[in-house]
Structure 1
């Protein structure tokens, strides 16, 4: 139930240590929060990507009633825009049990979030929610996530349920000498980033800097893992997994084109699903995709997977005119020339340049 006087404030980043600790406890035990709602992730956005960040907290005499993490990007192409949250898949308002998304706390957080963005010259604020909420805001639904329920502690049950095509392709990868595993140690992030950056270069998109993944691994600890697939001993693909509660998300995954015919990507994802079950997860989150795209179709081929639209609520401007409306994807004609040029860059140059450009993107 709602009641009492609500105070909304932006935490003082260096001084409010007790508040930060309270937020960590609030978010880590919350079924509607993501790993990215943790203040330590905003530390990484600020320290590695150079983004301005904020964290709104609503509280009353009984404690925290809701939170809203914020980050501001400034781009010569898109202008200034605020997002909750950029770079990652999820963000938005999270409320304490008993609070309503059409109630006082949610309205106060959205109002103050919009004011935070306007004071910094942002064109709008986008809230990346995972489910529809009665926030009385316009929303876009350009992206969808794909979710696969997982049986508790039983990878064999999942193997039987995923369908004959995925099973046959996983077997094919093994016949081709491919193996998948968790990769630990100091070289793990570098191995992942080599594959990830080359794959994004081939797609015409800039890659996040290696320091982003190193810092995220440091703050998330055992909830963050690097996975690789090798074929006859050669690195063919790699992925990042993030565990939060019962959700096992794969926000970044890539395989090299030379190994697609060997179904290395299928073996990598089957390994990820096995690892998710062993980690105690109940939902495998493939991450967001554009409906109808190749990655979207890849995710839905696993029997039992279902698509879930992602409502991105926009504060301060109609979505069609918002800074995040332009999507830097290979099928966007507005950026066709830039994408074609990026695809011709040598991978080492693309890795360095991508680390600069990604801080400007939605």
Structure 2
């Protein structure tokens, strides 16, 4: 039967997501709800399409176009997500989705088409020089905290977790994205990065009602660290997190991620921890390696219009050093006001 390419709509969202959940190569970031989140939070047009054969979904391709004056113009699978690109049940479906994406880039006039691949680069595509890695590791929670810690995290991190417990830190799990956002905004400002709008976190919670939670660490009743987690199949994915300036002194960050792991295993039966994307040789990269995770290179692949270049919108780019230095000094209310307008081009 002929493979047809169709646009995602409300009527096809259920079949799309059923295909994603049943296909091992698909990821949480291939779920259809990301389309309305990206549109609603950032006002970027989305072009989600699926391959259909004999009335069944046989492939999906999430795409969104980011076009801003400061950070350029690209058609990506998928901005604000770690993984992307087409996922298909057959070579014919994969080829049809790729051909659609290449043609769509030309029709839209976007200079860059990007696929964010985890497992392998796309043959014939230009690949970004090594920049991003992801960290994934199996784990197992059996109910005995001491033995579970020894089995799942290195000795130094176990010591940090025990220190946090002695200091009286505790965790709560809920859906309070506003509390998370306050902590996250302070954390990314201190790193020199623009903050996402509060609305983005709220939309994520609404889009994935049974597949997210927020873990918050409290010290003397005050929130000092928090992270938004996604849950997909047997995986837990801590995604947007941060801590206050005082978090490190009380080992709140190590305690936070141990609590995410512990709760996901004990309460949801999760067995794989996806620590997410980091840039090579950054503080986040080192933190995750110290937790016993091995980096896996991410393969971000490109089709470019004549004369176009692979985007380099990342803090390692020397042209952004002054901007980062200035941003770290901004009062938090100012950073919170200006940041969302900038970050929409940094997906």
Q: Identify the residue that residue 333 of structure 2 maps to in structure 1.
A: 348
TM-fit CA distance, 1:24: 1.8
In 1, Cα distance between equivalents of 2:301 and 2:98? 10
- Decide whether aligned partners of structure 1 residues 320 and 233 sit closer, same or farther in structure 2, where only a CA change above 3 A counts: farther
Specify which of 5, 9, 12 is matched with residue 8 of structure 1: 5
What per-residue deviation string (whole Å, max 9, x for no partner) do you get for residues 79-117 of structure 1? 211111111212211112xx2xxx332222112112222
TM-fit CA distance, 1:155: 6.0
Give the conservation status (yes or no) of the 8 Å contact 2:7–2:47. Answer: yes
TM-score computed with the length of structure 2 as normaliser? 0.93
SS at match of 1:205: coil
In 2, Cα distance between equivalents of 1:271 and 1:36? 23
In 2, Cα distance between equivalents of 1:139 and 1:343? 32
What per-residue deviation string (whole Å, max 9, x for no partner) do you get for residues 190-210 of structure 1? 110001011111111111111
Specify which of 243, 254, 271 is matched with residue 259 of structure 2: 271
Residue correspondence of structure 1 range 14-93 to structure 2 within 5 A: 16-61=9-54, 63-93=56-86
Give the conservation status (yes or no) of the 8 Å contact 2:212–2:229. Answer: yes
In 2, Cα distance between equivalents of 1:121 and 1:160? 54
Specify which of 285, 288, 293 is matched with residue 296 of structure 1: 285
Q: Identify the residue that residue 160 of structure 1 maps to in structure 2.
A: 150
In 1, Cα distance between equivalents of 2:181 and 2:202? 10
TM-score computed with the length of structure 1 as normaliser? 0.89
In 1, Cα distance between equivalents of 2:159 and 2:99? 52
Give the conservation status (yes or no) of the 8 Å contact 2:141–2:262. Answer: no
In 1, Cα distance between equivalents of 2:47 and 2:338? 27
- Decide whether aligned partners of structure 1 residues 311 and 198 sit closer, same or farther in structure 2, where only a CA change above 3 A counts: same
In 1, Cα distance between equivalents of 2:307 and 2:114? 9
1:217 lines up with 2:205 in the alignment:
yes
TM-fit CA distance, 1:133: 4.8
- Decide whether aligned partners of structure 1 residues 155 and 78 sit closer, same or farther in structure 2, where only a CA change above 3 A counts: farther
Give the conservation status (yes or no) of the 8 Å contact 1:75–1:360. Answer: yes
In 2, Cα distance between equivalents of 1:117 and 1:155? 53
What per-residue deviation string (whole Å, max 9, x for no partner) do you get for residues 34-78 of structure 1? 222222221111122101101121111151121100001111122
Give the conservation status (yes or no) of the 8 Å contact 1:56–1:68. Answer: yes
TM-fit CA distance, 1:320: 9.1
Give the conservation status (yes or no) of the 8 Å contact 1:53–1:71. Answer: yes
- Decide whether aligned partners of structure 1 residues 123 and 264 sit closer, same or farther in structure 2, where only a CA change above 3 A counts: same
TM-fit CA distance, 1:31: 2.3
- Decide whether aligned partners of structure 1 residues 176 and 72 sit closer, same or farther in structure 2, where only a CA change above 3 A counts: same
- Decide whether aligned partners of structure 1 residues 221 and 309 sit closer, same or farther in structure 2, where only a CA change above 3 A counts: same
TM-fit CA distance, 1:134: 4.8
In 1, Cα distance between equivalents of 2:163 and 2:141? 27
Give the conservation status (yes or no) of the 8 Å contact 1:181–1:271. Answer: no
TM-fit CA distance, 1:146: 0.8
In 2, Cα distance between equivalents of 1:319 and 1:289? 29
- Decide whether aligned partners of structure 1 residues 232 and 283 sit closer, same or farther in structure 2, where only a CA change above 3 A counts: same
In 1, Cα distance between equivalents of 2:238 and 2:191? 19
- Unaligned residue ranges in structure 2 (runs of 5+): none
In 2, Cα distance between equivalents of 1:234 and 1:340? 29
Q: Identify the residue that residue 170 of structure 1 maps to in structure 2.
A: 161
TM-fit CA distance, 1:299: 0.8
- What number of residue pairs does the alignment pair up? 343
What per-residue deviation string (whole Å, max 9, x for no partner) do you get for residues 153-197 of structure 1? 45645311222111101111122222122134xxx1111000101
Q: Identify the residue that residue 222 of structure 2 maps to in structure 1.
A: 234
